[in-house]
Chain A
């Protein structure tokens, strides 16, 4: 068992860490090219993320929506559905949170859960059509969800520009929600709010759901081997749809916590891409709900650290963006690589077991390349 744990840590922590280090090294090279001191830049970044109470609080605050969005993505990914539509669910969920938070007037212990529930309902509803189309008609969910994101975002833009516009404000935003729908901020004076506990609770719940329940078993087997799942009596299309509903609901929640904890109203285009960042976070943690907590925190740290570095060093803003991109790329590419590798290892095994055609092991067929050119 200790060997197992060591093995688990090695595979799930060491390798992402190495990827991060490699990315930082490339980033250092880019900084050097622009004749700045990478060590200084990185130390500013580290300080910016964790240096004092305020910096740490900002990191936490920033991590919350990304982590929840990541958890939403992970459920769909686990079932083998590549839901890229978290961003859409997030926007609509956020708007639903504004509606319930603004139009209803209730005591907080009822108002908060109702607002959260409304956002989840709307988020789930938004994920249903692409989920259904994928499960029943094999419509490519990547395409449908990406397109539906635009529909959702632009729809909320309309709502906030005309019917629900706060006429007293200069920007495109709604009137505020009632304070009874606020998520409590527990680390004043920072804005870190109870959404943090919500994220942790959702992660634990998801872990439990995926590994301890029949539905979780269905979702995992559907993702790993649909033909086996079908054989075991799993209703594969229905399981995919359910995973999409859960995914969308959590996506909606990610939007709601931002409205209820930070903004207190709906603002046009409030998300800088939390839903897409969530996908990266989920890939980084290989869809493991508890890993996503760590990955989300890392992502938050990267964002606040980079922002701080931007303010305090001469590293130009454009370079900073590309640095973040390089790190994200490396980190997620590592995840993708590991995924490809594990499934290739599996394929190799299938070949060895005579399931898949083709050669197993090394040797043979090395004439292939030369023949192509002749």
Chain B
């Protein structure tokens, strides 16, 4: 069945300085479908959608909406046409209620006052119609990210959006929330709405969309029907070369224990126990994956192991030597490298140069410093070598680290930490916000490190990643392990049950598996 077309973009051109973000882009979206727009970071997806939503003006090209040629010069105009957009970063006022946020800017009035009843009714009506359950009187600051997103969607719908653009809506959601969202999206389409879904997660795109447009370097490189394509083809189109989606790795050959953790207790920022009596052994030559919904103690665990957070109780030993109470510098010297979850706050200093970032942690002693004086020549030569080896795209090593894209910034952190003489690697969220090409590279580097005999602790919110990289999986729930699983025999669903605390193994009975 050929649905009628709702939007047609023709020959859209947009340049920012010397960068051509969109090059003669054509896009047709049919009414009542979910149209996915995919591509790596910087491929031009968001620019194209900003043009459609009136946030950017195209240099050339035309836009047709419902068969008419239109000029969209502002978001107000886009909304008047029936185009809504849910941005990646929510634009809600935290101190206002859900209903107040929804009607912000087009408030139903009663005299000079906001008609709260009408606002509430409006939210209720939309919420029931599309299954977007949310309390209209809740303050937005009390809502979870998933609920905030619902408010954004309700807000767009309340302005009569027929076409809704969703910019990477699942980037901030848990698997369960993603499923919820998809249910909502399907019900919206069933009621005649049209959706444009921007993403770079191929599985999701295949699960939800009707048609897919792939962009690369500002151009459309493919228009496909979802039913007729697959992950490998999409990945190849996005990256421009065949990509290994499965991580290729041989069996692990676990060797001597490198890190021994016994009954570890760590407090969170508020002083409450976040890690509650964890015990495990990390061996050389293995990748131990920690799965779990974020905020279940992962951050505190890794920070305690790297010396950034103090240990309340318990013991951490590396090669029989206690790390407890040592400074960050001493733990680094003991051979523990750390790729932090928050690479821009922790892992890098944006205003410092790439060179200065590269020597972080090694700036006290040989080979980059002698008697407290830094040898910048040596450091620069080393940095240039690493940049080449890890194919980090930079202008110059004297540029600030903030000039790097997400993927390249992460490669910088990975390169730095991997180049250290460390045999224990604490790796947190190594590929979050990183594009496919770089993900593949980082995964391969991790496996290569493992095969070279490093002991790797991998913490990731991406189940797929934990499953495909780990040799052993521990599931963390509320600061305790609820399961130890073999990635070869388990499934995402099974891990999910342990992640939510719905199921729990008796790990003490299975102590052999954990500590031996």
Contacts and interface: CB of A to CB of B under 8 A. Distances in A.
A214 B328 contact: no
B349 A228 contact: yes
Contacts of B50: 361, 363
B372 A215 contact: yes
A272 interface: no
Interface string B389-404: 0000000001000100
A185 interface: no
B433 A231 contact: no
Contact of A231 (B107, B114, B338): B338
Interface stretch (B20-28, B292-300, B339-347): B339-347
Chain B contact patch, size range? 35 or more
A349 B350 contact: yes
B11 interface: no
Interface string B166-181: 0000010000000000
Nearest to B91: A365
A248 B352 CA distance: 26
Contact of B344 (A213, A218, A229, A350): A350
B104 A231 contact: no
Contacts of A234: 328-329
Main secondary structure of the interface of B (DSSP, over half): loop
Nearest to B171: A354
Nearest to B330: A233
A366 B76 CA distance: 10
Contacts of B373: 212-214
Contacts of B361: 231-233
A36 B75 CA distance: 54
Contact of B348 (A228, A233, A366, A370): A228
Contacts of A230: 308, 328
Interface size classification for chain A: 35 or more
Interface string B336-369: 0010101011111111100010011101100001
Contacts of A354: 88-89, 171, 406, 433
A232 B360 contact: yes
A103 interface: no
Nearest to A232: B360
B143 interface: no
Interface of A: 4, 212-215, 217-218, 220-221, 224-225, 227-235, 342, 346, 349-351, 353-355, 357-368, 370-371, 374
Given A231-B340, A231-B347, 19 more contacts: A213-B372, A213-B373, A214-B372, A214-B374, A215-B372, A217-B359, A218-B363, A228-B345, A231-B306, A231-B338, A231-B346, A231-B361, A233-B364, A342-B351, A351-B89, A355-B345, A361-B55, A364-B55, A371-B104
Q: Which 3 A-B pairs have the closest CB atoms?
A: A233-B329, A367-B105, A232-B360
17 contacts: A4-B398, A213-B373, A214-B373, A221-B349, A228-B345, A228-B360, A231-B338, A233-B329, A233-B364, A235-B329, A355-B345, A359-B87, A359-B89, A362-B55, A363-B53, A363-B55, A371-B104
